[in-house]
């Protein structure tokens, strides 16, 4: 089975609607897809409705990717099989959304001071009804010819320590784990190999995540060096964490695709090992 447990829709910084995402996943022969938008579950119902309507043989998992702050790093925690209608969870997410909105205004202010005015409106129009992210500011900066690429927008303005960087006020890792588990989900440390930190910090991060009650880590993700992958396998075993995997797909490009590079080590227990919705799917597919 092809299991992709990390991707984004237009409800955050992905560029496909939940419907388009499902159709694309189906074309890529994905069997299980979790939608994990930044700090929102707003796209989940649309994804489920679309799946019901077109009766695709594809299981849809309600997910989220929560932003947290840890020792000055932005650490992302994916929640899988969360109850996307849970009122407590929704009110907690509204808090994060508020932090995003406040940060966006501060980013716009800093950009203005750095000589790039009127970026907010353009960024907001890219975000639409979805969560506003730095990726939307990056697109706006490209559109306004302030930079020539998204990468440059982060290098020059939006990245840590750059001219328009605003220290985010995200929740802690412990809070993210609690929010997810209170909503009935499993908490997974997202793309641990992609944080700009030394192996020593990475070991500390995984240890603290496990101590906070985290359930699993993404043990494989796109463009991960073999040595890093080996380290993640070791850390997952050491801390008895389950293994998850996902493409972190945002939009069609040369670099990422739904359902790609998802294999995880046989030494690890997959996060889906006891999922009921998966065994039902298996029966339906006839595996």
Our CB check for ligand AMP shows the closer of 129 and 263 to be: 129
Give the C-alpha separation, 218 to 14, whole Å. Answer: 20
CB of 235 to ligand AMP, least distance (A): 23
| Candidate segments 49-57, 84-92, 127-135, 237-245, binder of ligand AMP by CB under 6 A | 127-135
Pure H helices in the chain: 18-27, 44-54, 87-113, 119-127, 134-143, 150-153, 173-182, 199-211, 226-238, 276-285
CB of 11 to Mn ion, least distance (A): 12
**Greatest Cα-to-Cα distance within the chain, rounded to the nearest angstrom:** 60
- For position 197 contacting ligand AMP by CB under 6 A, the verdict is no
User: Contact with ligand AMP (CB under 6 A): which of 13, 31, 37, 215?
Assistant: 13
**Quick one: which H or E segment has residue 243?**
strand 242-245
Binding residues with ligand AMP: total (CB under 6 A): 11
Provide the token pair at 229: 């992958």
Give the C-alpha separation, 233 to 218, whole Å. Answer: 10
| Candidate segments 79-87, 108-116, 132-140, 182-190, binder of ligand AMP by CB under 6 A | 132-140
Handedness of CA 81, 87, 89, 91 (dihedral sign): positive
> Which residue matches tokens 């800093």?
110
CB 164 within 8 A of CB 152: no
Positions in 237-256 near ligand AMP (CB under 6 A): 250
| Candidate segments 25-33, 57-65, 91-99, 113-121, binder of Mn ion by CB under 5 A | 57-65
CB of 80 to Mn ion, least distance (A): 13
What, of Mn ion, ligand AMP, none, does residue 151 touch, CB below 5 to 8 Å by kind?
Answer: ligand AMP
Binding mask 200-219 for ligand AMP (x = CB under 6 A): --------------------
């Amino acid at each position: 089975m092809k299991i992709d447990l990390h991707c984004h829709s237009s409800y955050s910084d992905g560029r496909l609607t939940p419907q388009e995402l499902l159709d694309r996943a189906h074309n890529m022969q994905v069997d299980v897809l979790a939608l994990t938008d930044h700090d929102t579950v707003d796209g989940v119902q649309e994804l489920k409705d679309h799946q019901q309507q077109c009766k695709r043989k594809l299981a849809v998992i309600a997910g989220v990717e929560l932003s947290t702050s840890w020792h000055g790093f932005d650490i992302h925690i994916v929640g899988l099989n969360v109850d996307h209608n849970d009122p407590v969870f929704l009110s907690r997410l509204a808090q994060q959304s508020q932090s995003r909105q406040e940060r966006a205004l501060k980013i716009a202010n800093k950009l203005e001071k750095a000589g790039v005015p009127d970026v907010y409106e353009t960024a907001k129009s890219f975000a639409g009804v979805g969560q506003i992210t730095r990726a939307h500011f990056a697109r706006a900066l490209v559109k306004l010819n302030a930079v020539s690429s998204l990468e440059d927008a982060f290098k020059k303005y939006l990245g840590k320590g750059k001219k328009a960087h605003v220290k985010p006020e995200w929740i802690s890792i412990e809070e993210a784990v609690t929010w997810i588990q209170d909503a009935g989900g499993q908490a997974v440390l997202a793309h641990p190999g992609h944080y700009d930190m030394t192996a020593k910090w990475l070991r500390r991060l995984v240890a603290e995540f496990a101590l906070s009650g985290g359930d699993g880590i993404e043990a494989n993700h796109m463009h991960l060096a073999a040595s890093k992958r080996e380290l993640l396998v070791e850390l997952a075993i050491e801390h008895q964490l389950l293994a998850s995997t996902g493409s972190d797909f945002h939009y069609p490009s040369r670099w990422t695709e739904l359902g790609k590079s998802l294999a995880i080590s046989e030494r690890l227990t997959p996060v889906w090992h006891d999922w009921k919705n998966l065994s039902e799917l298996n029966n339906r597919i006839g595996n």
